[in-house]
């Protein structure tokens, strides 16, 4: 695991519990102890995954980093990503290739097809489970 991933993991964990929920790069650097550049790289990584976001209040000269509320939704559960998988085109290119050369790609295509089928059902199951937890009081509702 890269050092950037380790810092991003620490940053994500801290953003889940910090008070106030919006922190500057300097505040994050002090709290985690990590360099400003390491924090900035981790923020960029989390932003690319839709987990963190930067905001700036009017008149402020520095960004504040916080969790992106949309980032709490299951990531990479969009079945369209898997349906559009280009590996099928690769199989056409390897039509006459020996099985040992085609096998890894065939397995990747089979996995993409499986995920495209199962992920929408899994997201629906998660939402139903989450709603049950919220109704029972075991999980707070958003904004509570």
pTM of the full structure: 0.62
**Residue 84: predicted pLDDT:** 61
pLDDT-flagged residues of the chain (< 50): none
pLDDT tens column, 3-45: 777 899 999 999 888 899 999 999 999 999 899 999 999 999 9
At CA 49, angle to CA 10 and CA 135, rounded to 5?
80
DSSP string, 39-60: HHHHHHHHHHTTSEEEE--TT-
Spatial contact of 68 and 48, defined as CB atoms under 8 Å apart: no
Cα-based distances in Å from 50 to 31, 57, 70, 71: 22, 20, 7, 5
**Residue 125: predicted pLDDT:** 94
| C-alpha to C-alpha distance for 12 and 85, rounded to whole angstroms | 29
**Residue 71: predicted pLDDT:** 67
């Amino acid at each position: 695991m890269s050092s950037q991933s380790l810092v991003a993991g620490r940053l994500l964990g801290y953003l889940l519990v910090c008070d106030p929920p919006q922190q500057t790069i300097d505040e994050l650097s002090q709290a985690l102890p990590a360099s400003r550049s390491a924090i900035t790289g981790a923020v960029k990584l989390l932003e690319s995954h839709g987990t963190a976001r930067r905001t700036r209040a009017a008149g402020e000269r520095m960004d504040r980093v916080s969790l992106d509320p949309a980032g709490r939704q299951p990531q990479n559960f969009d079945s369209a990503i898997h349906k559009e998988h280009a590996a099928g085109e690769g199989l056409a290119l390897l039509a006459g290739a020996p099985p040992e050369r085609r096998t890894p790609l065939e397995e990747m295509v089979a996995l993409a097809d499986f995920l495209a089928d199962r992920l929408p059902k899994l997201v629906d199951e998660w939402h139903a489970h989450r709603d049950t937890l919220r109704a029972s009081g075991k999980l707070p509702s958003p904004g509570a």
